[in-house]
C-alpha cells in the first residue's frame, strides 16, 4: 500500500477518550504516561542535501512532493525541500472526529494549504486545512464505504482495516484539484476556491461513473447484505497523456478520458490490487497479489499489458500485510528500474526489475535481496528510492491499533539497498533497528534525512509515538520527538508528509499531527 488502509476508529477507543470534538480546533488527547517518557532524544542535524536528479515532473500532477501519498508519479517518497532538523521541534495536532478522523494522504496546493482525506465512522471527508493551525477551511463529505457497514453488521472490524478504497489514494493535479474514486465507484475531480467574503468551498468539477465497468452491489444501510458483487476502486493516477487510470480490488484496470468521458477497462482474472500504482512517460506500473505489470493504453484508451513478471507471493498473508502479495506501490527509479517487495515465506525480498517492454525475459530481474530477520519480515508500505538507492521498512506484526496497546511494539527494522552502477546486482548498504510499525516513511533530499514514525516497547505499558529522523547516508538515528501517547496517536498505515514549509505531518488515528522546528 502505502499502501495505506485508512480507517475510522473503533467505538471502544472513543469510549476511552471522551465525547465528540467540537467545531473549534481541538488537540488530540494524550493517554496517561506522557510525562513518564522522553520527549526528545538526540541532537539537531545539519542539512546535507543529497546529490542526484529528482523524478521527472508529471505534466498533469501538482509539483513533486505535493501531489500524493508517495510524493510524485514515480512513487519515490522523496521531497526536494528540507523537513525538520530537530531544533527544539514543536508538536501541534488537530482532532478531526470522535470516531476515527485519520487524515492520511496529504497534498499541498499552490498556496501551501493542505488538501487531505480524513476517515471517520460516518464516511471520508475531503478537507482543506490551514498549514500552521491545522484549522479546517473547507470540507466535502464522501459517501460511506461498504466495508464500514459490513464491519458493523458482522462485528468483524478487520474488514475496515484491510480496505484501501474510498478515496485514500487520491492525487492533486496540476490545477490544484483533488482527483479520487469514491465508494460509489465514481471518479470525482474536486476544485477548491475562496468566495469574495473569504469562505472556502469544494466544488465537483467532474464526476465519471464507473458502474458500467465495475460491479457495484455494495453494502449500505438500506441493504447491508447484498447478494451481488462489490468491487471497490482502490486508486487513481493520470498517465503522461492525461488519461485517468483506475484500479479495483478485484483486479480491474481502467482509464477515463477526461476530454470525452470515454471509459475503458480490462480484468486481471483471479488477482487482487490493494496498492496504488506509479506512472512514467513509458507507461504505468501496477502490482497485484500475483505479479508486477507494465501497462500502456491503446489508441482508444484500453489498458494493455506490455509485460508481466510473477514473484514469490508466499503461502499466506503475514501479520503486517493486507493480502497475500506485495505490499508495495511500485517505485520507478534510476535507469529504467522498477522495485517492489515480494511475500516470500521466510524472508521478504526486495526485487528490482528493468521495466522496458523490450527487455529480454532473462534480463528482467536485476536483483533479489532478502531483508530483515527470518520469519519476521513484511512491508505494506511503499519503498523510498533516490538515485540507485532503495530504503525498505519492516511492518511485520502490525495489524491495527490494538496490535500495539500496553507498550507493545513490532520487531521493526529498515534497510538501505543500492543497485550497482553497472546494473549487475544490488548491495545492502546499512541496516537500522528503527521500529516504525506502519508508516509510509519519507526522505528529504534537501537535508539528507529519512523520517519514520516510531514506537518502542515500554515496560510500563506507555504507548509513546515519535517522529524519528535517520541519516540516509549512514542509517544512524539522529533525533526523535514525542508526538503523543496512546492509540489515538497511532498512524495506522498513514504516511509522513513533508510540507514545503519544512513541517512534517503525520496522519494519526484521531486526526493529524504536525512537527516543525522551533525558534
Q: Hey, what CATH class is 11-516 in?
A: mainly beta
Q: For all residues of the chain together, what is the average pLDDT? A: 91
pLDDT at res. 4: 42
Which pLDDT score, from 0 to 100, does residue 122 have? 75
| Through-space distance between the first and last CA atoms of the chain, rounded to whole angstroms | 36
C-alpha grid cell for residue 51? Answer: 546529490
Q: In the predicted model, what is the mean pLDDT of residues 372-387?
A: 96
pLDDT grade for 163, boundaries at 50, 70 and 90: low
Residue 9: per-residue pLDDT: 36
Instruction: Find the angle CA(26)-CA(30)-CA(31) to the nearest 5 degrees.
Output: 145
Q: Is residue 11 very low, low, confident or very high in pLDDT (cuts 50, 70, 90)?
A: very low
Residues 6+ apart with CB under 8 A from 257: 243, 263, 301
Instruction: Provide the pLDDT for residue 162.
Output: 61
Q: Using an 8 Å Cβ cutoff, are 348 and 340 in contact?
A: no
Q: Percent of the chain beyond pLDDT 90?
A: 81
Q: pLDDT tens digits for 119-147?
A: 887 778 999 999 999 999 999 999 877 76
Specify the pLDDT at position 14. 36
Q: What is the pLDDT of residue 154?
A: 67
Distance CA 273, CA 266 (A): 13
What is the Cα–Cα distance from 445 to 51, expressed in whole angstroms?
A: 8
Give the bridge partners for 384, in sequence order.
391
Higher pLDDT among residues 469 and 7, named by residue: 469
> Cα dihedral sign for 504, 508, 513, 515?
negative
DSSP labels, 437-454 = -S-B-EEETTTTEEEEEE
For residues 17-31, average pLDDT = 62
Surface-to-core class of residue 112, CB atoms within 10 Å of its CB (0-12 exposed, 13-18 middle, 19+ buried): middle
At 88, the pLDDT band (50, 70, 90 cuts) reads very high
pLDDT band for position 151 (cuts 50, 70, 90):
low
Confidence of residue 400 (pLDDT cuts 50, 70, 90): confident
What secondary structure does DSSP assign to 288-310, as a single string? Answer: -SSEEEEEEE-TTS-EEEEEEEE
Q: What pLDDT is recorded for position 2? A: 53
8 pLDDT exceeds 60?
no
Buried b (16+ CB within 10 A) or exposed e, 399-408: bbbebbeebe
Q: For 457-491, how does the pLDDT look when each residue is reduced to its tens digit (9 = 90+)?
A: 999 999 999 999 999 999 999 999 999 999 999 99
**What is the pLDDT averaged over residues 377-391?**
96
Q: How far is CA 185 from CA 42, 214, 447, 488, in A?
A: 47, 7, 40, 30
Q: What is the mean pLDDT of residues 425-453?
A: 97
Residue 198: CB partners within 8 Å, gap ≥ 6?
none
Query: What pLDDT shows up at residue 15?
Result: 33
The model's pLDDT over 180-201, given as tens digits with 9 standing for 90+, comes to: 999 899 999 999 999 999 999 9
Cell 533479489 -> residue? 368
Asked if residues 139 and 128 have their Cβ atoms less than 8 Å apart, the reply is yes
Residue range 434-441: mean pLDDT, rounded: 95
294-323 pLDDT, tens per residue? Answer: 999 999 999 999 999 999 999 999 988 888
Question: Looking at residue 21, what is its pLDDT?
Answer: 37
Strands (E), 396-487: 414-419, 426-432, 442-444, 449-454, 464-471, 477-485
**pLDDT tens-digit readout, 498-517:** 999 999 999 999 999 999 99
State the pLDDT confidence band at 6, using cuts at 50, 70 and 90: very low
pLDDT of residue 252: 97
Amino acid at each position: 500500500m502505502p499502501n495505506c488502509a485508512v480507517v475510522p476508529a473503533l467505538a471502544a477507543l472513543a469510549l476511552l477518550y471522551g465525547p465528540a470534538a467540537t467545531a473549534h480546533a481541538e488537540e488530540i488527547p494524550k493517554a496517561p504516561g506522557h510525562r513518564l517518557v522522553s520527549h526528545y532524544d538526540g541532537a539537531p542535524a545539519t542539512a546535507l542535501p543529497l546529490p542526484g536528479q529528482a523524478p521527472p515532473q508529471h505534466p498533469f500532477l501538482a509539483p513533486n512532493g505535493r501531489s500524493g501519498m508517495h510524493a510524485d508519479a514515480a512513487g519515490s517518497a522523496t521531497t526536494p525541500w528540507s523537513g525538520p532538523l530537530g531544533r527544539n521541534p514543536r508538536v501541534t495536532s488537530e482532532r478531526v472526529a470522535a470516531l476515527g478522523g485519520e487524515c492520511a494522504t496529504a497534498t499541498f496546493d499552490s498556496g501551501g494549504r493542505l488538501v487531505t482525506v480524513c476517515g471517520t465512522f460516518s464516511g471520508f471527508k475531503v478537507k482543506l486545512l490551514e498549514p500552521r493551525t491545522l484549522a479546517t477551511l473547507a470540507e466535502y463529505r464522501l459517501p460511506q464505504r461498504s466495508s464500514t457497514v459490513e464491519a458493523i453488521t458482522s462485528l468483524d472490524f478487520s474488514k475496515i482495516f484491510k480496505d484501501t478504497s474510498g478515496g485514500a489514494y487520491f492525487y492533486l493535479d496540476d490545477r490544484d484539484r483533488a482527483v479520487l474514486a469514491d465508494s460509489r465507484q465514481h471518479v470525482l475531480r474536486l476544485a477548491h476556491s475562496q468566495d469574495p467574503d473569504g469562505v472556502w468551498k469544494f466544488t465537483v468539477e467532474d464526476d465519471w461513473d464507473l458502474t458500467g465497468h465495475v460491479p457495484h452491489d455494495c453494502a449500505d444501510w438500506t441493504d447491508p447484505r447484498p447478494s451481488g458483487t462489490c468491487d471497490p476502486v482502490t486508486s487513481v493516477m493520470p498517465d503522461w497523456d492525461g488519461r485517468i487510470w483506475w484500479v479495483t480490488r478485484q483486479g480491474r484496470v481502467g482509464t477515463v478520458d477526461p476530454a470525452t468521458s470515454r471509459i475503458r477497462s480490462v480484468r486481471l482474472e483471479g488477482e487482487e490490487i490493494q496498492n496504488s500504482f506509479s506512472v512514467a512517460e513509458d507507461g504505468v506500473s501496477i502490482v497485484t497479489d500475483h505479479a508486477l505489470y507494465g501497462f500502456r493504453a491503446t489508441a482508444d484508451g484500453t489498458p494493455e499489458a506490455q509485460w508481466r513478471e510473477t514473484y514469490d507471493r508466499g503461502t499466506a498473508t503475514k501479520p503486517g500485510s493486507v493480502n497475500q502479495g506485495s505490499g508495495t506501490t511500485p517505485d520507478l527509479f534510476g535507469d529504467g528500474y522498477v522495485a517492489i517487495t515480494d511475500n516470500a515465506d521466510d524472508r521478504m525480498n526486495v526485487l528490482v526489475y528493468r521495466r522496458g517492454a523490450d527487455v529480454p525475459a532473462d534480463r528482467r530481474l536485476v536483483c533479489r535481496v532478502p531483508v530483515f530477520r527470518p520469519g519476521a519480515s513484511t512491508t505494506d508500505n511503499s519503498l523510498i528510492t533516490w538515485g540507485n538507492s532503495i530504503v525498505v521498512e519492516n511492518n511485520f506484526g502490525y495489524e491495527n491499533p490494538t496490535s500495539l496497546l500496553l507498550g507493545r511494539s513490532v520487531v521493526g527494522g529498515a534497510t538501505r539497498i543500492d543497485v550497482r552502477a553497472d546494473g549487475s546486482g544490488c548491495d545492502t548498504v546499512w541496516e537500522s533497528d528503527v521500529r516504525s510499525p506502519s508508516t509510509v516513511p519519507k526522505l528529504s533530499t534537501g537535508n539528507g534525512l529519512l523520517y519514520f514514525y516510531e514506537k518502542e516497547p515500554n515496560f510500563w505499558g506507555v504507548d509513546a509515538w515519535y517522529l524519528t529522523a535517520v541519516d540516509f547516508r549512514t542509517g544512524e538515528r539522529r533525533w526523535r520527538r514525542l508526538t503523543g501517547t496512546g492509540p489515538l496517536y497511532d498512524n495506522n498505515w498513514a504516511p509522513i508528509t513533508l510540507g514545503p514549509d519544512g513541517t512534517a505531518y503525520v496522519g494519526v488515528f484521531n486526526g493529524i499531527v504536525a512537527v516543525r522546528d522551533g525558534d
